[in-house]
Structure 1
Amino acid sequence: QPDTTDINGLAQRGLLSRDSLFNALIQQRYTNNLSLTAQVQPFRDFTVDVTLNRTFSKDYSELQKDTGNNSGIRRYNPYATGSFSISYISYQTLFSRFDPNEVSEIFRQFEANRLVLSNRLGLDNKQYANPVNRTPDGYVEGYGRYAQDVLIPAFIAAYTKKDPTTVELVKNSNPNLRANPFSRMVPKPNWAVTYNGLSRLPGMEKIFTNFTLRHGYNSTLSMNSFTTALLFQDPFRVGYPSFRDTGTGNFIPYFLVPNVTISEQFSPLIAADMTFTNQLSTRFEYRKSRTLSLSLVDYQLAENRSTEVTFGMDWRRKGFPFLRNLKFGKNAKPLDNDVTIRVDFSLRDDATANSKLDQNTAFGTSGQKVVRLSPAIDYVVNQRINLKFYFEQNRIIPKIATTAPVTNTRAG
């Protein structure tokens, strides 16, 4: 679709209204979605599903207006907003030590990466004459410790174990509607693995009728609601900013990004579904997830981690001895129908911590342990009567002193 150059051409050819009272904005929208899926089966009973995604959208508006002062049609208030997300790989630091009340080593690395990125950007910015000027704490002027162009790549490098000297940078140009400031960030594949061939191994077929192992990982890097910085300047069109904020001393980037989020899950890290030859079924699942949300407004990182273990068992048996001896009436048949016993147990541990840049403390904001137990027995007496005995208990143990523990129990 046409970009600003095409729209300016329409104005120059007199195809746009020159009425000074005409105030309708020119509005454009661009959306680009990439979704790739593939399934690989390297050998029998082993399946790998791979997905790769990227979503980018941008809305642009401007006012083309003749103000009546013989200056012709001119552009006013160009403004763009958008969002960006890609599938990513960030598990490199997921299993690191985490204490909600301590500043993590990864966060310290994030802080240290800022100086590396400041120097790198100072050398790359063609608006600068060499040698570049530096602040007393060693940062290049315009690329201080809280500059957006410094923080985003420093954050990604720290939490994905990338080299800060080569991590992708954010672009500071918007030549057309399709231009993506985050195009250097390439989507990475996520996966789901399934193997159900263990029951075919010699000796295993006598124990199991089915034995399935599962593993999956998905992660998303997103930067939503970025907007145009109206004070951005790049007079030499070199793709780098030249105007500094008078309050912070940092360069004003082309787009303002309020928040960067990484969300990832091993869903599951490992899971096993087993069915034995004696009609006993068991299942086990271990999940782990993390959400990182970096605010570029108050320079604070919120980190949420969750670990969940689930165990389940189903056992079906043709009656029980004490049921076979029960009869209702002289001609009634023994109660030897199928009895199903189910037991489900899960334990989830959640914790959220906030860490602020250049502070020596972190603090937990929320967290809890959730224990769930739910055994049940089902027995079908006949086509009209089905007996069920159950017990359910959810216990919530908070990690914050201001929250009371809660236990919910149901039985019947």
Structure 2
Amino acid sequence: NMDRFVQNFSINYVIPIDKLPFLEWVTSTFTYQASYSWTASPLSIQQRLGNQIENSRTIQLNGNLAFDKLYNKSPYLKQLLRPKNQRQRGGPPPRNRGGTQQAQDQGAEADTLEKPKVNYFKIIGEGLLKVVLGIKKTTITYSQSQGTALPGFLPQPNLLGTNWSEGAPGLGFTFGSQKDLRQEAGEKGWITTDSTLNQPYLKKYQDAFVFRTSVEPISDFKIEVTADRSYSENHQEYYRWSDTLGSFNAFSPTDAGSYSISYIAWGTAFEKESGDNISETFERMKSIRPEIAEQLARENPNWNGEYVYDSLTGNYYPDGYGPNSPEVLRPAFLEAYSGRSGSKANRDYFPTFPLPNWRITYTGLSKIEFISRFIQKLTLAHGYNSTYSINSFRTNVNYVDANGSPSSKQPFSSDYVSRYDFGQISIAEQFSPLFGIDMTFHNSLSTKIEYKKSRNLTLSFANNQITEVKSNELVVGLGYRIKNLGFTIKALGGGGRKTRMESDLDIKVDFSIRSNKTVLRSLDEDINQVSAGQKIFSINTSIDYMLNQNLSIRFFFDKIINNPFVSNQYKNSTTNGGISLRFSLAQ
């Protein structure tokens, strides 16, 4: 008897879009992957409860846009975007083909008296055009994965995973089709009618979108822009024969999944807390709840038009949309912490369009004559990354839809039952770095300065509380290399043999000041409590020297001082130092 059958299938296709006229700058690929498996149940129950079949498919589409090739199709743009040293190539001076020396001197004098005309409109126009044409390359990727698992399947597979005598489950399913097979399988007797089958029927879905583009508006100034979105959902239900109904039926359907999207929340990232750790953004979130509740109620045709007084907040709320309703808290959280008011995306369960994140670098300062005298390389950097995510969501079995809006209410709070149950939602944000300077001098001295900032915000619907984790870090690094440092050592023993060693000596010193703070902010109570955090001072020093090709020595000293923000923890420090030898067997 067969225990397991596995089949995989893959297609990769280069779409010939670049063969079309004027589209040589566009390339695209298509990928299709499918898998199918048949897994046998134990022999003792195989004929009664059947086996399990499962398939999956992944479709991926990649697109690459090489804008520099597009610009080069225009002779004017090609010449405009060419570096100056290539555009202004000097030719040989013209030869004198006659005329007296006196006439030449008079012409030269006239040329020096006449001022050259400067076309400022052309200079400004071409400069703006070069900025617009700074987009060099763009990559877009979209992928979609789906899968189905069907238990209780009775036929056994033959060639290509299909039982040809019964046509079960068919080439479509074995090559990744996601058509619902259950009704056909039930009618043709492919599924067991044993009502004790307790394995669930599963449907899986996941899609992902990634956008990347490279922009260079001016020479040596590069911007890398990214945007992404991912969504996954798993459907589960028990599909089995009902002796009472005399047919196959689905029981206990549930949907669960996760979601994330690139986001922008830096409008509130630089907020300064007032006394007692009070946050203006958090206070604003609490204050805009009545306004959002009013908007949601007026858009719900099932609202009865009544208002309920909330004694904790001292405000009236529409019946069904109280201050702690998930339907109210979620958009209030996004609107307050993103700093964008009235955005429809704040009220969508799963916003469609990702917002851009970026990384910026500039290396052109080292080309300035005065700076280049001292500095070999100078890089300025800035990066921003933010993600809005729903770690887990589940469809609410008590949700009742009427006219496209919720109509059923919670028995304990009189709020409308939400379509989805969210355990928590979060915004993660990093400035990595907010600003950074990396310099390498001609004398082998290197310096690096970075200021990093991050923030993690989590709204829990279980206790109506926001957990805010903030981090700020300043890093200063110094490095110096002494090239070809040599010395002679005398071998132990009476031979007196001397060995000459010569290698680079690398000296590094890094200073860091970092502040981490976790604040719990309760919506039901006026509490802003610091639950964890500390200010950390650290210094890391090291000296590295390679004794030979296989042996290196390192002297190091590290010290970390922790100064906690909470009273139940104590100030402490850690010191670490010593010498290490590293021996490498690689040749």
TM-score category (smaller protein)? 0.7 to 0.9
Task: Please give the TM-score of this superposition, normalised by the length of structure 1.
Answer: 0.86
**Distance apart, 1:285 and its partner CA:** 0.7
Q: Which moved more, 1:309-318 or 1:328-337?
A: 328-337
Equivalence map 1:391-406=2 (5 Å): 391-406=557-572
180, 183, 190: which one aligns with 2:357: 190
User: Would the aligned equivalents of 1:100 and 1:364 in 2 still touch at CA under 8 Å?
Assistant: no
User: Structure 1 5/153 Cα, relative in aligned 2: closer, same or farther at 3 Å?
Assistant: farther
1:19-38 Cα shifts (integer Å, max 9, x gaps): 54444432101001111212
556, 581, 585: which one aligns with 1:390: 556
**Distance apart, 1:394 and its partner CA:** 1.2
Equivalence map 1:350-389=2 (5 Å): 350-379=516-545, 388-389=554-555
Q: Does 1:226 align with 2:399?
A: no
Equivalence map 1:1-12=2 (5 Å): 10=184
User: Would the aligned equivalents of 2:289 and 2:329 in 1 still touch at CA under 8 Å?
Assistant: yes
Question: How far apart are the structure 2 equivalents of 1:283 and 1:110?
Answer: 39
Q: Which amino acid aligns with 1:410?
A: N
1:66-89 Cα shifts (integer Å, max 9, x gaps): 433347444321111000000111
Q: Which amino acid aligns with 1:301?
A: I
**Distance apart, 1:318 and its partner CA:** 5.2
Question: How far apart are the structure 2 equivalents of 1:304 and 1:384?
Answer: 45
**Distance apart, 1:10 and its partner CA:** 4.9
Q: Secondary structure of the residue that 2:336 maps to in structure 1?
A: helix
User: Would the aligned equivalents of 2:510 and 2:541 in 1 still touch at CA under 8 Å?
Assistant: yes
1:75-125 Cα shifts (integer Å, max 9, x gaps): 321111000000111111010013694331111111112111111110111
Q: Which amino acid aligns with 2:474?
A: V
1:209-257 Cα shifts (integer Å, max 9, x gaps): 10011110101100121112111111x3x22111101101111111100
183, 206, 221: which one aligns with 2:373: 206
User: Would the aligned equivalents of 2:147 and 2:204 in 1 still touch at CA under 8 Å?
Assistant: no
Question: How far apart are the structure 1 equivalents of 2:371 and 2:411?
Answer: 72
Q: Secondary structure of the residue that 1:203 maps to in structure 2?
A: helix
Equivalence map 1:333-348=2 (5 Å): 338-348=504-514
Q: Which amino acid aligns with 2:368?
A: L
Q: Does 1:311 align with 2:486?
A: no
**Distance apart, 1:46 and its partner CA:** 1.5
**Distance apart, 1:363 and its partner CA:** 0.6
Question: How far apart are the structure 1 equivalents of 2:457 and 2:210?
Answer: 24
Question: How far apart are the structure 1 equivalents of 2:319 and 2:503?
Answer: 81
Equivalence map 1:54-93=2 (5 Å): 54-70=229-245, 72-93=247-268
Q: Does 1:247 align with 2:422?
A: no
State the partner residue of 1:135: 308
Question: How far apart are the structure 1 equivalents of 2:207 and 2:446?
Answer: 45
Q: Does 1:269 align with 2:434?
A: yes
Q: Which amino acid aligns with 2:416?
A: F
Which has the larger helix fraction?
A: 2
Which 5+ residue runs of structure 1 have no aligned equivalent?
171-180
Give the CA RMSD over aligned residues: 3.1
Equivalence map 1:72-151=2 (5 Å): 72-98=247-273, 101-128=276-303, 132-136=305-309, 137-151=315-329
Percent of aligned pairs sharing the same letter: 31
User: Structure 1 383/247 Cα, relative in aligned 2: closer, same or farther at 3 Å?
Assistant: closer
Equivalence map 1:319-334=2 (5 Å): none
**Distance apart, 1:196 and its partner CA:** 1.2
| Greater relative contact order structure (CA < 8 Å, 6+ sep) | 1
Q: Which moved more, 1:399-408 or 1:258-267?
A: 399-408
State the partner residue of 1:176: none
Equivalence map 1:24-63=2 (5 Å): 24-63=199-238
Question: How far apart are the structure 2 equivalents of 1:394 and 1:126?
Answer: 61
Q: State which structure, 1 or 2, has the greater radius of gyration over its C-alpha atoms.
A: 2
Q: Secondary structure of the residue that 2:394 maps to in structure 1?
A: strand
1:151-188 Cα shifts (integer Å, max 9, x gaps): 10000000011214745324xxxxxxxxxx41x35311
In the alignment of these two chains, the number of paired residues is 394
Write out the 4+ residue segments of structure 1 that deviate beyond 6 Å after TM superposition.
Answer: 1-5, 11-16, 326-337, 381-385
Question: How far apart are the structure 2 equivalents of 1:316 and 1:229?
Answer: 63
User: Would the aligned equivalents of 1:113 and 1:164 in 2 still touch at CA under 8 Å?
Assistant: no
**Distance apart, 1:371 and its partner CA:** 1.1
User: Would the aligned equivalents of 2:361 and 2:380 in 1 still touch at CA under 8 Å?
Assistant: yes
1:121-161 Cα shifts (integer Å, max 9, x gaps): 101112235xx111023111111011111110000000011
User: Would the aligned equivalents of 2:544 and 2:553 in 1 still touch at CA under 8 Å?
Assistant: yes
**Distance apart, 1:381 and its partner CA:** 6.6
User: Would the aligned equivalents of 2:501 and 2:548 in 1 still touch at CA under 8 Å?
Assistant: no
State the partner residue of 1:168: 346
State the partner residue of 1:159: 337
